[in-house]
Amino acid sequence: MLVYAAMFGLAFGSFVNAAIERIPRGESLNGRSHCDGCHRALRVWELIPVLSFVALRGRCSSCGVAIGLRTPLVEGICAAAFVAAFWMLAVPVAVATCAGFVAIVVAIGVAFVKKDLQS
């Protein structure tokens, strides 16, 4: 159960990162993720949470632009939060807690990126 919670946490962390990057720029949440430097669509193996960042050493495999530590950090934090919720709470409460956590992290991340874009 906790392994699945971690995998869902990583997957939702990946979604959270996409939302944090795209919402402030008015981009759609649909469509493939792409490199911010060269705008190349990421390959399937480049989309694996945390592992891809480690394999790529934090850089785009095409243009070498830095990916930023926020990406694996958000994915890891979401995985840890999901594991903690499913470990401590009954399943329905854990699902609701995780959904609330994702919404809060997206809101905080969007606020930070909006502030960065304005400055």
- What are the φ/ψ torsions at residue 104 (nearest 5 degrees)? -65, -45
Of the candidates 118, 116, 114, which has an alpha carbon nearest to the alpha carbon of residue 106? 114
- CB closer to Zn ion out of 7 and 37: 37
Which C-beta is closer to Zn ion: that of 68 or that of 100?
68
Residue 66, beta-bridge partner list: 59
Question: Closest CB to Zn ion among 31 and 100?
Answer: 31
**Least distance (Å) between residue 1 CB and Zn ion:** 37
Residue placing its CB nearer to Zn ion in the complex, 37 or 76:
37
Least Cβ distance, residue 2 to Zn ion (angstroms): 35
Minimum CB–partner distance for residue 25 and Zn ion (Å): 17
CA gap 2, 66 in Å, rounded: 32
Tokens at residue 43, please?
Answer: 């390959």
The residues that touch Zn ion, with contacts defined as CB under 5 A, are: 35, 37-38, 60, 62-63
Write down the least CB distance from residue 91 to Zn ion, Å.
Answer: 40
Say if CB 2 and CB 86 are below 8 A apart. Answer: yes
Contact status, residue 100 vs residue 10, Cβ threshold 8 Å: no
> What is the amino acid identity at position 118?
Q
